[in-house]
A and B are shown apart, each in its own frame.
Chain A
C-alpha cells in the first residue's frame, strides 16, 4: 500500500496568515493527489484534485502544488471558516486509495 504522511500534524495560525501544509507519498503517485477539508462533526469536503485543480465553489485562496512524492496545500490568507482538519489522499492506486493522517489548523 502507498503510505501518505502529512506534516505538521497541527498548526496554530491567525486570521490572515498564510498557511502551508505538506503531504508525502511513500512512492511516486504522479499528480493523483486530492485534498479534503473536514470540520468537526461534518463529512469531508473535496477541495482540490489532481494536485492543483480547485473543486468548483472552493475559494481561490486555496492552492495546491506538487508531483511525484511531495505535495503542498496553501491557504493564502486564512479565514475563520478555514479552521478545520485537512487530509490528503492518493489516487494513484485507484480504487485502493489511501489518506494521510491529517493536519489540524487551529486558532492561535
Chain B
C-alpha cells in the first residue's frame, strides 16, 4: 500500500523558516517524480513545486520561487521542502503527492494526509 506521511509543519513567525518532510513507503520511491501542493484554509489547491525522480529537474511556482527549496533523498525514501522567508500567505496545509506520467495523464496520483503550516506573529 502506498503511504506518504508529511511532517514538520507548525507555527512560525513571518520571515521564519520551516522544513517539511514526506516519508514514502509501499512503492519504488526512486522511480517516481514528486510534487508539493498546498491548500490555504478554506481555499482551493495550489501546485508549488516538482522534482524529478533523480532530483536533477526542479520547478517552482512563482509565488515560492527563491524562498522554497525542494529536495529528495532516494536512500531514505523521503521528500523535503525547505521554506524560508515565510509570509502570512504561505499559511496552508502542505501535501506531498506522487506525479503520474503519461499513462496517468500527468495527474497527481497518490497524496499524503498533509501537514499544516501557520505563519503568524
Contacts and interface: CB of A to CB of B under 8 A. Distances in A.
Are A and B genuine complex partners?
yes
Interface of A: 31-34, 36, 42-46, 49-51, 53, 55, 87, 89, 91, 94-102
User: In this complex, which of B106, B109, B114 has the most chain A Cβ atoms within 10 angstroms of its Cβ?
Assistant: B106
Interface of B: 33, 35, 37, 44-47, 50, 59, 61, 95, 99-100, 104-114
B47 A99 contact: yes
Contacts of B45: 36, 44, 87, 89, 99
Contacts of B44: 87, 99-102
Decide if the interface of chain B is mainly helix, strand, loop or mixed. Answer: strand
A95 B99 contact: yes
22 contacts: A32-B106, A33-B105, A34-B108, A43-B112, A44-B95, A44-B111, A46-B104, A46-B108, A46-B111, A49-B100, A49-B107, A51-B105, A89-B107, A91-B105, A91-B107, A95-B35, A95-B47, A95-B50, A96-B59, A97-B108, A99-B44, A99-B45
